[in-house]
């Protein structure tokens, strides 16, 4: 498939214009039909027809508010928050997270459940994800909401068919996760898809993060696995097979520590969450392999706050290695910002000063090509929130939610 100019089809035009109206209302709430016509370039009759249709499908509703201005008072429109919910989930090293949002992205629920994903089998993980999903569906269903879709983020390669050829930190190889999950949900009646967790996280940054206006953006996931979600000109970078952003095994130090992938000195082997805990808390695994990292990250924060010299020196060294990895992303992608999540965000006050210095020193372009390095503001659920955002994509592209009409 070659990119190029495409002729315009009339049904595409209607969907596109529906999308334009929905987007305008979402970003200028509340607004009138006249506002929409004035700012989108669509004529008033078209806007009126589209708004009627969107109200019928309960994507918009009238608030009855009026603007104070010269002339006839206008009926104001908002997104209809009531009848729909979009679900997102993520599989992290030590927990499952589910987030539900309404049409405007407002949070309906955020549940985090401890789950030992590093040691669980793919079948157990699939069953646990399905269980948590069913409970979330039941909860939003009890609120009278129709589920628009479920998008699950996993820390690994996801191919275009939704199979996971490799999720190294989870120990997964060739897991048909989307198909298994659909089967486990037994005809859920809404679209179910699986996506790389970092890709979802950067979608969440674009919609909910502190850099929402940036169109060239990277979210670097912290955690057991490290992945990059990359926006290029506002669109997700996927690559030929959907494997773009696989930076966890970037070879940074040929003589570095061994990585479970069989190579040495990979970014993940240097600054992934297990490596960080092992380096800063040598006693942490005295009682066996860790399945819950949150208390260890908190211990590190306490040590750092108390200015424990060994911890601070370790965090500075880790920050430099993180900055080295980010410099590769800056050279190749020249994003406006790299936002770090997970333990990188939790430890940002001690990691990022050294990381930024390394980024500037190692990037060829002056001033790191303008690339800022900042902690994500989305907490540990960026991928699940991004999954919920992704589940809204169909409606936001102007497609009418078919099942919801019956429900509405």
Interface with a copy of itself in residues 239-268 (CB under 8 A): 239-255, 261, 263
Q: Which residues contact 85 (CB under 8 A, 6 or more apart)?
A: 100, 101, 102, 108, 140, 143, 145, 146, 147, 148
Instruction: State yes or no: residue 374 binds a copy of itself (CB under 8 A).
Output: no
Which token pair is 182? 């659909």
Q: Which stretch binds a copy of itself (CB under 8 A): 71-79, 118-126, 291-299, 332-340?
A: 332-340
Instruction: State yes or no: residue 41 binds a copy of itself (CB under 8 A).
Output: yes
Out of 29, 258, 397, 405, name the contact with a copy of itself by CB under 8 A: 397
Distance between CA atoms of residues 21 and 186, nearest Å: 35
Instruction: State yes or no: residue 132 binds a copy of itself (CB under 8 A).
Output: no
Distance between CA atoms of residues 19 and 24, nearest Å: 8
What b/e readout covers 111-128, taking b as 16+ CB neighbours within 10 angstroms?
bbeebbbbebebeebbeb
- ∠ Cα 103 374 325 (to 5°): 115
**What minimum distance in Å lies between the beta carbon of 324 and a copy of itself?**
7
Instruction: State yes or no: residue 11 binds a copy of itself (CB under 8 A).
Output: no
Q: Which stretch binds a copy of itself (CB under 8 A): 64-72, 126-134, 233-241, 374-382?
A: 233-241
**What minimum distance in Å lies between the beta carbon of 396 and a copy of itself?**
8
DSSP state of 157: B
**What minimum distance in Å lies between the beta carbon of 365 and a copy of itself?**
4
Distance between CA atoms of residues 7 and 175, nearest Å: 39
Distance between CA atoms of residues 31 and 134, nearest Å: 36
Q: Of 288 and 366, which CB lies nearer to a copy of itself in the complex structure?
A: 366
Which helix H or strand E contains 372, and what residues bound it?
A: strand 372-375
Out of 40, 48, 75, 163, name the contact with a copy of itself by CB under 8 A: 40
Q: Which stretch binds a copy of itself (CB under 8 A): 124-132, 285-293, 369-377, 383-391?
A: 369-377
Strands 107-114 and 95-101: antiparallel
Instruction: State yes or no: residue 232 binds a copy of itself (CB under 8 A).
Output: yes
User: 284 to 313, contacts with a copy of itself by CB under 8 A?
Assistant: none
User: 134 to 163, contacts with a copy of itself by CB under 8 A?
Assistant: 157
**What minimum distance in Å lies between the beta carbon of 384 and a copy of itself?**
23
For 51-160, strand residue ranges (E) read: 60-62, 76-79, 84-91, 95-101, 107-114, 146-154
**What minimum distance in Å lies between the beta carbon of 371 and a copy of itself?**
7
Out of 34, 78, 166, 317, name the contact with a copy of itself by CB under 8 A: 166
Instruction: State yes or no: residue 114 binds a copy of itself (CB under 8 A).
Output: no
Which token pair is 31? 């607004």
User: 14 to 33, contacts with a copy of itself by CB under 8 A?
Assistant: 16-17, 19-20, 23
Instruction: State yes or no: residue 9 binds a copy of itself (CB under 8 A).
Output: yes
Out of 68, 142, 187, 213, name the contact with a copy of itself by CB under 8 A: 213
Q: Which residues contact 405 (CB under 8 A, 6 or more apart)?
A: 56, 57
């Amino acid at each position: 498939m070659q990119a190029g100019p495409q002729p315009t089809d009339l049904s595409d035009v209607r969907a596109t214009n529906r999308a334009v109206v929905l987007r305008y209302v979402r970003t200028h709430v509340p607004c009138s039909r006249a506002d929409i016509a004035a700012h989108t370039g669509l004529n008033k009759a078209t806007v009126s027809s589209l708004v009627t249709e969107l109200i019928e499908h309960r994507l918009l509703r009238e608030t009855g508010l009026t603007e104070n201005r010269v002339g006839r008072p206008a009926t104001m429109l908002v997104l209809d928050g009531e009848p729909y919910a979009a679900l997102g989930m993520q599989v992290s090293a030590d927990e499952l997270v589910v987030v539900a949002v309404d049409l405007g992205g407002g949070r309906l629920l955020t549940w985090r459940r401890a789950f030992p994903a590093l040691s669980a089998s793919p079948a157990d993980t699939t069953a646990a994800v399905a269980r948590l999903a069913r409970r979330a569906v039941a909860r939003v269903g009890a609120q009278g909401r129709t589920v628009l879709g479920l998008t699950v983020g996993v820390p690994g390669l996801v191919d275009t068919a939704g199979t996971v050829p490799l999720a190294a930190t989870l120990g997964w190889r060739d897991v048909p996760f989307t198909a298994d999950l659909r089967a486990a949900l037994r005809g859920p009646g809404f679209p179910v898809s699986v996506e790389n967790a970092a890709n979802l996280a950067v979608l969440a940054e674009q919609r909910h993060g502190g850099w929402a206006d940036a169109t060239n953006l990277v979210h670097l996931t912290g955690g057991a696995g490290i992945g990059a979600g990359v926006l290029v000109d506002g669109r997700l970078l996927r690559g030929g097979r959907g494997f773009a952003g696989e930076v966890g095994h970037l070879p940074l130090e040929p003589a570095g520590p061994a990585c479970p992938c069989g190579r040495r000195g990979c970014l993940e082997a240097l600054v992934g969450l297990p490596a960080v805990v092992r380096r800063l808390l040598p006693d942490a695994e005295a009682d066996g392999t860790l399945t819950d990292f949150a208390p260890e990250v908190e211990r590190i924060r306490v040590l750092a706050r108390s200015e424990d010299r060994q911890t601070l020196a370790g965090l500075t060294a880790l920050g430099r290695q993180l900055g080295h990895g980010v410099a590769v992303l800056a050279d190749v992608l020249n994003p406006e910002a790299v936002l770090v999540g997970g333990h990188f965000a939790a430890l940002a006050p001690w990691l990022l000063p050294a990381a930024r210095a390394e980024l500037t020193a190692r990037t060829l372009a002056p001033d790191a090509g303008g690339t800022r390095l900042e902690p994500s503001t989305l907490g540990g659920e960026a991928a699940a929130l991004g999954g919920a955002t992704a589940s809204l994509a169909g409606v936001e592209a102007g497609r009418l939610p078919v099942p919801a009409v019956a429900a509405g």
